[in-house]
Amino acid sequence: MPGVAGRTSEWRTQRPDLHTETCTKCMKCVIHCPDDCITVTEDGYPEIDQYYCKGCMICMAVCPHDSIDEVITLPGGDIDA
Protein backbone atom coordinates (compact mmCIF):
# COMPACT_ATOMS: atom_id res chain seq x y z
CA MET A 1 0.00 0.00 0.00
CA PRO A 2 1.32 3.48 -0.72
CA GLY A 3 2.42 5.96 1.90
CA VAL A 4 4.31 3.69 4.28
CA ALA A 5 6.33 6.81 5.05
CA GLY A 6 3.33 9.10 5.00
CA ARG A 7 2.99 12.06 2.60
CA THR A 8 6.51 12.03 1.28
CA SER A 9 5.98 15.28 -0.61
CA GLU A 10 6.49 16.87 2.79
CA TRP A 11 10.18 16.09 2.38
CA ARG A 12 10.72 18.30 -0.64
CA THR A 13 11.64 21.95 -1.04
CA GLN A 14 11.15 21.87 -4.81
CA ARG A 15 8.82 19.99 -7.12
CA PRO A 16 8.70 19.03 -10.80
CA ASP A 17 6.25 20.89 -13.03
CA LEU A 18 5.48 19.05 -16.29
CA HIS A 19 4.59 20.92 -19.51
CA THR A 20 3.11 18.41 -21.95
CA GLU A 21 3.39 20.81 -24.93
CA THR A 22 7.00 19.78 -25.53
CA CYS A 23 6.66 16.26 -24.13
CA THR A 24 7.26 13.53 -26.72
CA LYS A 25 6.05 10.68 -24.43
CA CYS A 26 9.56 9.16 -24.50
CA MET A 27 8.85 7.78 -21.02
CA LYS A 28 12.38 8.48 -19.70
CA CYS A 29 10.97 10.27 -16.67
CA VAL A 30 8.61 7.39 -15.97
CA ILE A 31 11.31 4.69 -16.00
CA HIS A 32 13.80 6.77 -14.01
CA CYS A 33 11.45 7.95 -11.26
CA PRO A 34 12.82 6.14 -8.18
CA ASP A 35 9.47 6.05 -6.42
CA ASP A 36 7.09 5.04 -9.18
CA CYS A 37 5.42 8.44 -8.80
CA ILE A 38 4.95 9.06 -12.51
CA THR A 39 2.11 7.18 -14.21
CA VAL A 40 0.81 7.42 -17.78
CA THR A 41 -2.58 8.95 -18.54
CA GLU A 42 -4.95 7.58 -21.20
CA ASP A 43 -3.61 10.01 -23.74
CA GLY A 44 -0.15 8.65 -23.08
CA TYR A 45 1.35 11.60 -21.22
CA PRO A 46 3.25 11.18 -17.96
CA GLU A 47 1.51 12.40 -14.81
CA ILE A 48 3.37 13.15 -11.59
CA ASP A 49 1.80 12.21 -8.24
CA GLN A 50 2.53 15.38 -6.32
CA TYR A 51 1.29 13.84 -3.04
CA TYR A 52 4.13 11.34 -2.86
CA CYS A 53 6.81 12.94 -5.11
CA LYS A 54 9.90 13.58 -2.95
CA GLY A 55 11.22 16.32 -5.26
CA CYS A 56 14.46 14.53 -6.27
CA MET A 57 14.12 16.20 -9.73
CA ILE A 58 15.58 13.22 -11.62
CA CYS A 59 12.67 13.51 -14.07
CA MET A 60 13.71 17.05 -14.89
CA ALA A 61 17.34 16.00 -15.31
CA VAL A 62 16.61 13.09 -17.66
CA CYS A 63 13.95 14.83 -19.76
CA PRO A 64 15.53 15.30 -23.22
CA HIS A 65 13.20 18.19 -24.06
CA ASP A 66 13.30 20.28 -20.85
CA SER A 67 9.56 19.73 -20.43
CA ILE A 68 9.86 19.64 -16.66
CA ASP A 69 10.63 22.78 -14.64
CA GLU A 70 11.81 22.99 -11.06
CA VAL A 71 9.43 24.96 -8.84
CA ILE A 72 10.61 25.93 -5.37
CA THR A 73 7.97 24.95 -2.83
CA LEU A 74 7.27 25.86 0.78
CA PRO A 75 9.02 23.75 3.38
CA GLY A 76 6.85 20.58 3.67
CA GLY A 77 5.83 20.90 0.04
CA ASP A 78 2.60 22.44 -1.18
CA ILE A 79 0.01 19.75 -1.50
CA ASP A 80 -2.21 21.51 -3.99
CA ALA A 81 0.58 21.91 -6.54
Partner 1 sequence: MVSTKELVNIELEVKAIEKGNLACPGCQLNLSFKHALSALKGDAIVVVPACCTSVIQGAGQGYGMHVPIFNTAFASAPPVASGIARKLKRDGKKTTVVVWAGDGGTADIGFGSMSGAAERDENILYVMYDNQGYQNTGNQKSGATPRGAKTSTTPHGKKSRRKDIARMMMAQEVSYVATANASYPQDLFAKIERAATEFAGHFRFIQIYSPCPPGWNIDTKDSVLVGELANNTGYWPLYEAVNGKLEFSRPSRRFNDPAKRKPLADYLKIQGRFRNIDPEIVKQMEEDIEHEWSILRKFM
Helices (H) and strands (E) in the chain, counts: 2, 4
- Residue with Cβ nearer partner 1 (6 or 75): 6
In angstroms, what is the minimal distance from the CB of 67 to partner 1?
15
Question: Which has the closest alpha carbon to 19: 67, 75, 70, 80?
Answer: 67
Question: Which has the closest alpha carbon to 65: 28, 40, 38?
Answer: 28
For the segment 16-35, give every residue that binds partner 1 (CB under 8 A): 26-28, 30-35
For binding to partner 1 (CB under 8 A), which residues are involved? 1-8, 11-12, 26-28, 30-37, 39-40, 49, 51-52, 54-58, 60-62
